[in-house]
Amino acid sequence: MVCDDKLPDKKILAQKIVVNDPLHHLFDAVDAVAVQGYNENRQVIYWNKGSELLYGYTSKEAVGEKIEDLIIPQPMKGTVIAGIKNWISNGVEIPAGELILRRKDGKNISVYSSHALFTNQYNQKQIYCIDINLSDLKHVEAEAELTEHMLAATFEVIPDLFFLMTADGTIIDYHASNKANLYVSPAEFIGRPMTDILPSEVADQFKCNMLKIITQGGVINFEYELVMPHGVIYFEARMTYLADNKKIIAIIRDVTEQHQASEFIKMHAYYDTLTQLPNRFLALDRLSQMLNEAERNNEKTAVLFLDLDDFKKVNDSLGHEVGDKLLIESAIRLKNIVRKDDTVGRLGGDEFIIILRSLTYDHNALFVAENLLRSFRNPFKIDGRELILTLSIGIAMFPENGKNSSELLRNADTAMYKAKSLGRNTYSFFTKEMNVNMLRRLEVEEQMHGALERGEFEVYYQPQIDAINKKIIGAEALLRWYNPALGNVTPDEFIPIAEHTGLIVPIGQFVLKQALSFLNIWQTEQQTSLRIAVNLSPRQFRDTELLNFIETSLTKANITADKLELEITEGVLMIGQAYIDNALMKLHELGVKLSMDDFGTGYSSLSYLRQYAFDILKIDRSFINGITSNKADCDLVKATIAMAHSLGLKVVAEGVETKEQFELLNQLECDYLQGYYFSKAITMKQLLDFSVTF
């Protein structure tokens, strides 16, 4: 139990420090960072040189005093005392973060502070606080470099290992205060070159630096590591050349403790101790670097500010231990979603940051946000419980929403609160325009769920005309959607959303069944052979039941396979998956006609025509639009028709809108025509009454 009534005498406390805290030897080696240690009663037991420089109190002044009486501003004292007691008594960790503390001269100083709790050999709990001066980071770095050189110069007179060598590196004398750090015995190295004794990588370092010291003079130092019988030991070598005597002096120091201290401090200063993610300080430093890179390369960078919805309820109801495990698992899920070059960091509490580098479009960030939300739909399994946790995400884009890291973080934070106000478990962009688009997308997606059941979708049909005999030979099935809340929603808007959510599969099945059912009625009434064209999307090809569904639907509608034409865009083929190839091959074997849609708008259409068994080629409307006024378009369409015919393919020209286009395509021997010149997309009833007129 922590008791403040009887505190140890300062002299007794100071005497015990030397005996019972070996950590101090590690912290003494790094005075560019302030490290303070205090006991269960909050009395300072350790105060390094960095703390003296940062806060103005000498170690003698600080040791024995309570930490809150030295550097904690009055308004914070109660919170700090409670936090320390809570950690010591209940194990509730003090989070790392930015603080405004107080110097001896009364001035405020901004620091990034992290903490570690240890139990010494007397079973006493000690808290160590590691502070980085944020007001002048560059100054701290310069001080650290200067301090390193000063320490090295001082320790040259008290080396662990001393070697006197000739100019070619042959060892002629040595001194070792710690013989355990000799890589081989003296009998094996006296009279031999240093480079013959050491492993090749280390020998190369010595060889290179000995050449430098002879040609350039001065003092050269470098670090290396050796695998010794007692473990991996880190060394620092300092060499100088005595030109008059043509001798090299090498002083080798064991810096293993300093190396471990540096790694320890680095870990606590730059990484979150719970999740091992970069902390706020490191994440924002990386963001600054990414912004510079994005500006040079004319790219975008996205900052995602994430908050776990209702996380406080988890801590309050299940305890901090469960909460901590939930944070760790959340961090793992976040890292699994983003790319290796992106950054996931923990800002503190239940707040995280994700930085997406080298983006081309804003919607790249949107897809990541949707994947993040989707990943949290699966329950977390913690201590036998299944917990559902959702995210609220705010997104700010560089350069549109800010020119520096602090501005982007602030705007992403603002957007996150907007996402909270939208009902949580969603994302929000910072800009008004992006938010309007995002809200519209959410509305469309929300209304799309259940639209089939409510009967809001209807299949329209656009006739296809034989260019030679000017008779109707079939139609393309086109989906239309009217929603009472949204009105008419265009396919260009709702099809990509249906594709992304997977709703395109049941919607596609609806279109196919409706189209085949109508074709049966249409052929019976017209007493002639007709065909129907239906579009297939990339997502539908991933449906393992696609082939069975098509075959079953043909049978139920009493339609032969050759009367069904499936239109496939190049986007499907570019996926390059084996299941695409298998599906196309089996559809061809079934007798279904395959049509390449939007020909001319992709990059590799010719190779696909050779690779797959297509029957029909559809020339995109963007080329048909200019054939009567643009010779290049006309020549391209002419060449396409000739090429298709040479491959045994029929050609459909879509987007025919004028008599001149119709007549020219007829001259170019295009097989089938489709467009507003004949008819727009019409209902089933209208198509039954339709007749071609010119």
**pLDDT of amino acid 605:** 56
| Residue percentage of the chain with pLDDT more than 70 | 87
**pLDDT of amino acid 157:** 47
Tell me what the mean pLDDT of segment 541-558 comes to. 91
**pLDDT of amino acid 11:** 47
pLDDT at residue 281 greater than cutoff 50: yes
Distance of CA 572 to the CA centre of its chain: 26
Residue-averaged pLDDT of the chain: 85
pLDDT tens-digit readout, 174-218? 887 677 778 888 888 899 998 898 999 988 999 999 999 998 888
**pLDDT of amino acid 147:** 63
Confidence of residue 17 (pLDDT cuts 50, 70, 90): very low
Tell me what the mean pLDDT of segment 15-41 comes to. 68
pLDDT at residue 62 greater than cutoff 80: yes
CATH classification of 275-430 is 3.30.70.270, yes or no?
Answer: yes
Range name among 422-426, 481-485, 486-490 with the lowest pLDDT average: 422-426
Separation between Cα atoms, residue 472 and residue 678, nearest integer Å: 10
Cα atoms found within 13 Å of the Cα of residue 127, Cβ hemisphere only: 28
pLDDT tens-digit readout, 621-679? 888 988 998 888 899 899 999 999 998 999 999 999 999 999 999 999 999 999 999 99
Tell me what the mean pLDDT of segment 383-411 comes to. 90
**pLDDT of amino acid 30:** 66
CATH of 457-688, one of 3.40.50.1820, 3.40.50.300, 3.50.50.60, 3.20.20.450: 3.20.20.450
CATH of 10-135, one of 3.30.365.10, 3.30.1490.20, 3.40.50.12170, 3.30.450.20: 3.30.450.20
Q: Which long-range contacts (CB under 8 A, 24 or more apart) does 179-184 make?
A: 180/228, 180/230, 181/228, 181/233, 181/235, 181/252, 181/254, 183/226, 183/228
Domain boundaries, the chain: 10-135, 156-260, 275-430, 457-688
For the residues of 116-155, what is the DSSP string, one character each? Answer: EEEE-TTS-EEEEEEEEESTTHHHHHHHHHHHHHHHHHHH
pLDDT at residue 450 greater than cutoff 50: yes
**pLDDT of amino acid 148:** 59
Range name among 3-17, 351-365, 530-544 with the lowest pLDDT average: 3-17
**pLDDT of amino acid 154:** 47
pLDDT at residue 567 greater than cutoff 70: yes
Separation between Cα atoms, residue 357 and residue 302, nearest integer Å: 7
Separation between Cα atoms, residue 258 and residue 162, nearest integer Å: 20
Phi, psi of 241 (to 5 degrees): -115, 125
Tell me what the mean pLDDT of segment 143-168 comes to. 66
Q: Find where tokens 């009395």 sit.
A: 43
Range name among 305-309, 478-482, 569-573, 610-614 with the lowest pLDDT average: 569-573
Compute how many other C-beta atoms are within 10 angstroms of the C-beta atom of residue 134: 16
- Same fold: 10-135 with 457-688: no
**pLDDT of amino acid 514:** 96
pLDDT at residue 3 greater than cutoff 70: no
Tell me what the mean pLDDT of segment 33-43 comes to. 91
CATH of 156-260, one of 3.30.450.20, 3.30.70.1730, 1.10.357.10, 3.30.470.10: 3.30.450.20
Helix axes 491-501, 432-448, angle to 10 degrees: 70
Nearest-5° angle of CA 531, CA 535, CA 538? Answer: 150
pLDDT at residue 559 greater than cutoff 80: yes
